[in-house]
A and B are shown apart, each in its own frame.
Chain A
Amino acid sequence: MQQAIKDISLNKFGIQQRLVSEADAEFIFSLRTDPVLSQYLSKTTGTVEDQRRWISSYKQREANGEEYYFITFYEGMPQGLNRLYNFDHESFEVGSWLFRRDAPGAVAILADIAVRDFGFEELKFNNCRFEVNENNKSVLNYHKLFGPELYEKEGESLKFRLSKEKYLIARSKILKIYKYGN
């Protein structure tokens, strides 16, 4: 099991990220129940209170170092979410990538880079896994920029694995686009 990292706050690429708390339940619920934003995510039902209870349960997994769920802020406003979970001995899974419809495009992308950095650099994993619905063409195109390996197809779900080495190559290209490259 990973050693839990406490009090995580990421501040890079002009955005700020912290771990979610129960107070974020309404915001999270609003994104996860947006019919357009959530069409390719696992379904969320119930109420904001159910979301709050889910977060409460998640906070225990976070305390155990099993999962990290980030909320991203830009110019002081909450913009979206990313989650690292399903850790195994050499990889983390990244998902729950969900941003407001009016969030600047760069914010969602830089948030993804920032949490993957966390998984590789802070959690010391060598690989990243992610799952994409084959009909989610836009997100599929984005992920393919990183050159991942497709290791499984289950129904409409495509499962990818991305090495740290390949990630860093794509990361460098992407950060140059947003003037954070060297």
Chain B
Amino acid sequence: MGIDIFANKFREQFIDGDSITVLPETAFRQLPSWDSLTGMSVLVMIQDEYGVEITDEELKQTNTVEELFNVVNRKKNA
């Protein structure tokens, strides 16, 4: 799956996902509705949709949607 689809799935985890814009370059922690529960939803989505396990600590090492997507891809292709 490409990054645009990933960004869309990422956006869907937000409580206001219908009204925000999430792009590959989005610094997701800057989004007003970002919180730890949203982060967990994103990581569960990644497990479900990509079959990849990303920990909370690994998520903390990323700042943009694209950076997280790259981590997912690296693990998927490992």
Contact residues of A with B, CB < 8 Å?
104-106, 108-109, 137-142, 145, 170, 173-174, 176-179, 181
Contacts and interface: CB of A to CB of B under 8 A. Distances in A.
Name the interface size band of chain B. Answer: 20 to 34
Interface string B45-63: 0011000011111000000
19 contacts: A105-B35, A105-B36, A106-B56, A138-B33, A138-B35, A138-B37, A141-B13, A141-B15, A141-B37, A141-B38, A141-B41, A142-B41, A145-B41, A145-B44, A176-B47, A176-B55, A177-B53, A179-B57, A181-B53
A109 B36 CA distance: 9
B38 A138 contact: yes
Given A138-B15, A141-B13, A177 B40 contact: yes
Interface of B: 13, 15-16, 33, 35-41, 43-44, 47-48, 53-57
A108 B48 CA distance: 23
A178 B43 CA distance: 10
Nearest to A106: B56
Given A173-B47, A177-B55, A178-B56, A142 B15 contact: no
